[in-house]
C-alpha cells in the first residue's frame, strides 16, 4: 500500500511538473469565455500543420527535419500531460468551465479525435524522417502514405507485419506508440466514466 501511494504521488507530481513546464497551450489560451472555441481552432490548425510536415519531411535537410520532429514531439507530450491531468487526475477545467454542459461530451470526443490524429501524424513524421535520413530503419523505404499507414496500424495494434521496423530507433518508436495506444484507451474509458458521473451529478 505504501509503494502504491508513493507511485501515485510521483505520477501526480510528474503530471503537474509537465503541465507547468512542458505545455504551451496555457500560454495562448487564457481563462476567458472563448477559450474552448480557441482550442478548437488551434487543434484544426495543428492538424493541418502536422499533415503538412509529414508531406514535406522527405524534402527537408536532416537538421530542419529533426527540428520539425522535435516540434511535433511536443504535441505528443502535451497530449499525454493534458489528458492525464483532465481525465486521470480530474484537475482540468473542462467539466466546470465548459459553456454548454449538454454538449461537453460531443466536444470532448471531437477534440479527442483531433488530438488522436495529431499523435498518429506525429509518429508518421518520425517514421518518414527515419526512412529518409537513416536508411535501413524499416524493412523497405516508406513514403508519405506508407508512414501514415504504419502509424495507424501500430496505434490500433493491428500489426499486419508487411512493413516492419529494423533499426533500433524505429523499434523504440514503434514500441512507444504501442504503449501510447494502450494508455490512450485507459484515458478514454476513464474519461467516459467521468463524463457520465459528472453529468449525473449536474442533473441532481
* 30 pLDDT more than 80: no
Residue 18, domain member (yes or no): yes
pTM of the prediction?
A: 0.87
2: in domain: no
Residue ranges of E strands in the chain = none
Is 133 a domain residue?
A: yes
Q: What is the mean pLDDT of the chain?
A: 84
* Residue 62, domain member (yes or no): yes
Split into its structural domains, the chain has a count of 1
The 10s digit of each residue's pLDDT in 80-139 is 988 888 877 877 767 667 777 777 778 888 888 898 999 999 999 999 999 999 999 999
Question: Is there a domain that residue 6 lies in?
Answer: no
Cα distance between residue 184 and residue 88, in whole Å: 11
Give the pLDDT mean for 30-45.
80
Q: Look at residue 1 and tell me if it is in a domain.
A: no
Domain enclosing residue 192, as ranges: 13-203
pLDDT attached to residue 25? 75
Q: Give the separation between CA 137 and CA 109, rounded to whole angstroms.
A: 35
Query: Which residues on neighbouring strands pair with residue 138, listed in sequence order?
Result: 165
CA distance 75 to 67: 13
Residue-wise pLDDT tens digits, 53-84:
999 998 889 999 999 999 999 989 998 988 88
CA–CA distance, 199 with 179 (Å, rounded to integer): 30
Q: Which of 110, 111, 103 lies closest to 199 in space, CA to CA?
A: 103
**CA 121/CA 117 separation, integer angstroms:** 6
Amino acid at each position: 500500500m505504501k509503494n502504491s501511494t508513493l507511485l501515485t504521488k510521483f505520477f501526480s507530481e510528474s503530471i503537474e511538473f509537465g503541465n507547468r513546464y512542458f505545455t504551451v497551450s496555457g500560454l495562448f489560451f487564457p481563462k476567458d469565455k472563448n477559450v474552448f472555441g480557441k482550442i478548437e481552432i488551434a487543434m484544426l490548425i495543428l492538424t493541418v500543420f502536422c499533415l503538412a510536415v509529414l508531406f514535406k519531411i522527405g524534402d527537408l535537410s536532416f537538421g530542419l527535419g529533426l527540428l520539425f520532429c522535435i516540434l511535433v514531439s511536443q504535441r505528443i507530450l502535451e497530449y499525454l500531460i493534458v489528458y492525464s491531468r483532465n481525465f486521470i487526475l480530474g484537475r482540468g477545467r473542462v467539466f466546470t468551465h465548459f459553456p454548454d454542459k449538454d454538449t461537453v461530451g460531443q466536444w470532448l470526443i471531437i477534440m479527442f479525435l483531433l488530438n488522436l490524429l495529431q499523435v498518429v501524424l506525429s509518429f508518421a513524421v518520425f517514421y518518414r524522417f527515419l526512412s529518409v535520413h537513416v536508411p535501413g530503419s524499416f524493412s523497405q523505404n516508406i513514403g508519405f502514405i506508407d508512414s501514415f499507414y504504419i502509424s495507424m496500424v501500430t496505434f490500433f495494434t493491428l500489426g499486419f507485419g508487411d512493413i516492419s521496423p529494423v533499426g533500433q530507433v524505429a523499434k523504440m518508436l514503434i514500441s512507444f506508440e504501442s504503449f501510447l495506444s494502450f494508455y490512450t484507451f485507459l484515458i478514454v474509458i476513464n474519461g467516459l466514466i467521468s463524463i457520465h458521473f459528472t453529468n449525473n451529478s449536474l442533473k441532481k
